[in-house]
Amino acid sequence: MKKKGDSPILLLPFIAILIIVLYLMAARVDGAELQTIPEDAIKMKFTCYCPESCKGRITASGEPIREGIIAASADRLGQRAEVYLMDGTLLGLYECLDTGGNPGIQNGHVIDVWAPHLSKAKQLMRVTGGEVYVRFYP
């Protein structure tokens, strides 16, 4: 005999939580392996530049602009950079071959990643949320 309060509706929050947990577990298995952020990584603002947003096609190092390049402060020119999302996922490996015109870049608070077109730049901005961890090395 059914008791008062034994409604299937009461199970909905528990089912919803179970579905969310299972989804997150599946995403962790299917997605990129999460990494730990290196201790020497620096939290920085993240921006993008693309053909639609810049005038030049040659970097401060003299090389043509291409994917895999970031603009960073002049003292980083020639270094490599590992860029991590805030959750520790490695976004990519980049070369610091440009310095950019943004004062935040020149002061060492911002990195500016080259994207081949505006839609890729927007996608990168959505993925990063405008903040990343960066580990620079020679």
62-109 pLDDT tens trace: 999 999 999 999 999 999 999 999 999 999 999 999 998 888 999 999
d(CA 15, CA 54): 50
Residue 46 has pLDDT above 90, yes or no: yes
User: In this predicted structure, what is the pLDDT of residue 5?
Assistant: 56
Strand partners, 45: 110, 131
More confident residue, 128 or 22: 128
Residue 9: C-alpha distances to residues 4, 6, 13, 19, 136 (Å) = 13, 9, 8, 16, 53
d(CA 32, CA 42): 22
Q: Which domains does the chain have, with CATH numbers?
A: 42-137 (2.40.40.10)
Q: How many CA atoms lie within 13 A of 97 on its CB side?
A: 16
pLDDT tier at 3, thresholds 50, 70, 90: low
pLDDT tier at 1, thresholds 50, 70, 90: low
107-121 pLDDT tens trace: 999 999 999 999 999
13-31 pLDDT tens trace: 667 676 776 666 655 544 4
CB 96 within 8 A of CB 77: yes
User: In this predicted structure, what is the pLDDT of residue 29?
Assistant: 46
d(CA 107, CA 115): 22
DSSP annotation of 15 reads: H
